[in-house]
Structure 1
Amino acid sequence: MDNETFNMDILQLEGLKVSPESSFPAFLLLLLIYVFIIVSNIGLVVLIFMERSLQEPMYLLFCNMSINDVFGATTIIPRILSDIFTPIPDRYIHYYECVVQAFCAHFHAGISHAVLIIMAFDRYVAICNPLRYATIMTNRVVVALSVSAWGVPFFLVAIVIILSVRLSRCRRSVTNPFCDNASLFKLSCENILINNIYGLGTAMLTMACSLCSVTLTYLRIAMVCLSSKNKALNSKALQTCGTHLAMYILLLLSGNIIIIFHRFPDLSDERKLASILLHVVPPSMNAVIYGLQIKAIREQIYIIFTRKKLLWWCEMKLQN
């Protein structure tokens, strides 16, 4: 009985299907992407907190995105890297480790949508009510929005995972590159109707709130820009809003491509590869898009590198 219980707690994780010849290139590429995600996002957060001129609500709210991107990538990529050189039959994961990974994967996706919603609200206030921006977007409001962006997804995802954990298990195979909620309830032979209803309902509610809030916000911003003759205001609105929309579209494409592949059973391998895009593509691009498009951040990065280059030149002169 003990051995049977132990065996049911050790799951076989399929992971990515990589040929022996492609193992090293795949490992190196994924490792470089992971290092880039960590360095770029943490670097941007450090820059925002160190430079007083960047300590504005817009940039502080973006710190939530960068921290979440590091969290999401760390949830998935290290485990995939460790499995690349391991034969598929020898890839195992403990059930409780699988539960934690599933929770973190969905938590990351939920936070991504929540942060983009509050960033859209910030842009709405800044462009449509510029004179009241400082009184509305106070430090207290920024903290409250940040806490809600993490707290609400935590609560919703926790219920999703609890509903799956309560089920008994009759299977041990996870046919995914990593564990998610579907992987958990598919381990059971019980009725999973409640899991499907709540899981799909939560996903649809999150997507609907995300799409509606961002769409309505930008329609209002577009109306203000069209009615305004202030070219400086319109230029700033296009710059910051364009950056935010690029991040949002990237998130939608990365998430919805998995849903599209689910409609084509013959593309199961492609679907498994696409399932990691949400945890790889947006985290690797958000810092680049935001850092290069926002003038204030771009200027601070230029100043830092120019300062380091000047210090290096002075040291070389003194040594000579």
Structure 2
Amino acid sequence: MENAFNVSKNLVLLGILEMEELKYLYCVLSIVLYLFIVLLSIIIVLVVFSDTRLHEPMYILISNLVLNGIFGSSAFFPKLIVDLITSSATISHGDCIAQALCVTLFAIYEMSTFSLMAFDRYLAVCHPLRYGILITNEKVINLIVGSFVVAFILVLTAVLLTWKLPLCGNRLNNIFCDNMSIIVLSCVDSSISQLFSASVVVFYLAVTIFVTVFSYLQIFLVCLKVSEESRQKAVHTLVTHLLNFYIFLIGFLFIFIRYRLSRVKLPVILHVLFSVTTLIVPPLFNPLIYGVRTHALKTRVIYYLQKTHPWPMWSKISKPCMSVSVISNSHSH
């Protein structure tokens, strides 16, 4: 059996081979999507950090979310683009493990960020008078750093357990490496690695769903007791955050379906579609949704674009946005 182990060999990404026929189309599409994600996310981060009126917990968390989107897409798109250009479908075992670490860390940390954002909105709507005391910028930064450290330690442990597994195969039904795809190639009993990885994902999903459902249920109950104007602001917040959260959960559902159907001979293209949803859709839609639906942020983004690129179109768009700029100093968006 030892001779069958191939942990030192390159792994083959079957999804890249599937894309070979239309590789230039996929390459252009990947470049456009990646640049769009990075540019829009960077604009939001620059606007938040350059405008003192946006130095509030909610906007810090939004910046953290879109920065994580850059991190996740950067762990995926650059190599995909290079592979498509060079017609290379191989990746070394070490690089595969590193990519699996980054991809998994992105997903786990995304869950942490959604939990923090839901809890922040719960405090803002349900405890408005004590909000400034209960949650400050310093506390939010500490929570962000703490949640990242915890996520990194757990993901690193899971990936290290996978790294030590001897592999008997080298063909991945994907266009990138993820932890579970490597585990299924193991020659030996990988129950410990599978159990630990599954436990981390289930724990984070359970906490994220519980905190989100609890927070927005409390917000909904408050909406029933307040004025019509306050109710509209709270519902606007509710819809914005839940929309992003559901987009992320759909991506995770696809990954769950993919591995539950591991014994079914699915086409490689379906494996690819199921797995890339979480890596493409949230980083793409997070800056779009928060940049459009969060009034104060939308106003400042348009102002920033108008100042840096004074095109006539920004003047037309900014007029209706300025009518809601008074909301920029409130916590209900």
Distance in 2 between the 1:85 and 1:260 partners? 31
> TM-score if structure 1 supplies the norm length?
0.89
Paired residue for 2:89?
91
Q: Are positions 1:301 and 2:301 aligned together?
A: yes
**Structural RMSD (CA):** 2.2
Consecutive unaligned residues of structure 2, counting only runs of 5 or more, are 313-333
Residue pairs, 1:197-216, within 5 angstroms: 197-216=195-214
1:266 is paired with a residue of what secondary structure? coil
Give the alignment partner of residue 118 of structure 1, picking from 113, 116, 119: 116
Change (3 A) 1:258 1:168: closer
1:141 is paired with a residue of what secondary structure? helix
2:174 is paired with a residue of what secondary structure? coil
How big is each residue's C-alpha offset from its partner over 1:23-55, in whole Å with a ceiling of 9 and x where there is no partner? Answer: 211111111000000000011001100111111
| 8 A Cα contact 1:99 1:179, kept in partner | yes
Q: Amino acid of the residue matched to residue 121 of structure 1? A: F
2:11 is paired with a residue of what secondary structure? strand
| 8 A Cα contact 2:223 2:235, kept in partner | no
Distance in 1 between the 2:250 and 2:311 partners? 43
2:186 is paired with a residue of what secondary structure? coil
Residue pairs, 1:196-275, within 5 angstroms: 196-228=194-226, 230-262=227-259, 263=261, 265-275=265-275
Change (3 A) 1:167 1:310: closer
Give the alignment partner of residue 193 of structure 1, picking from 177, 187, 191: 191
Q: Are positions 1:69 and 2:69 aligned together?
A: yes
Paired residue for 1:14?
14
Paired residue for 1:82?
82
Change (3 A) 1:165 1:75: same
Distance in 2 between the 1:99 and 1:122 partners? 34
Deviation at 1:277, TM superposition (A): 1.5
Paired residue for 1:43?
43
Paired residue for 1:58?
58
Distance in 2 between the 1:234 and 1:132 partners? 19
How big is each residue's C-alpha offset from its partner over 1:60-84, in whole Å with a ceiling of 9 and x where there is no partner? Answer: 1111111100000000111111122
Deviation at 1:19, TM superposition (A): 5.0
Change (3 A) 1:296 1:191: same
Greater CA deviation, 142-151 or 6-15? 6-15
Paired residue for 1:168?
166
> TM-score if structure 2 supplies the norm length?
0.85
| 8 A Cα contact 1:8 1:169, kept in partner | no
How many residues are aligned here?
306
How big is each residue's C-alpha offset from its partner over 1:95-127, in whole Å with a ceiling of 9 and x where there is no partner? Answer: 111111000010000011100000000000000
1:24 is paired with a residue of what secondary structure? helix
Deviation at 1:176, TM superposition (A): 1.9
| 8 A Cα contact 2:75 2:103, kept in partner | yes
Greater CA deviation, 54-63 or 186-195? 186-195
| 8 A Cα contact 1:8 1:171, kept in partner | no
| 8 A Cα contact 2:247 2:282, kept in partner | yes
Identity %: 29
Consecutive unaligned residues of structure 1, counting only runs of 5 or more, are 313-320
Q: Amino acid of the residue matched to residue 94 of structure 1? A: S
Distance in 2 between the 1:197 and 1:5 partners? 22
Deviation at 1:85, TM superposition (A): 4.0
Deviation at 1:180, TM superposition (A): 0.9
How big is each residue's C-alpha offset from its partner over 1:210-265, in whole Å with a ceiling of 9 and x where there is no partner? Answer: 1111111111111111122x223212211222111111011011221232244353
| 8 A Cα contact 1:103 1:158, kept in partner | yes
Distance in 2 between the 1:201 and 1:100 partners? 21
Change (3 A) 1:24 1:129: same
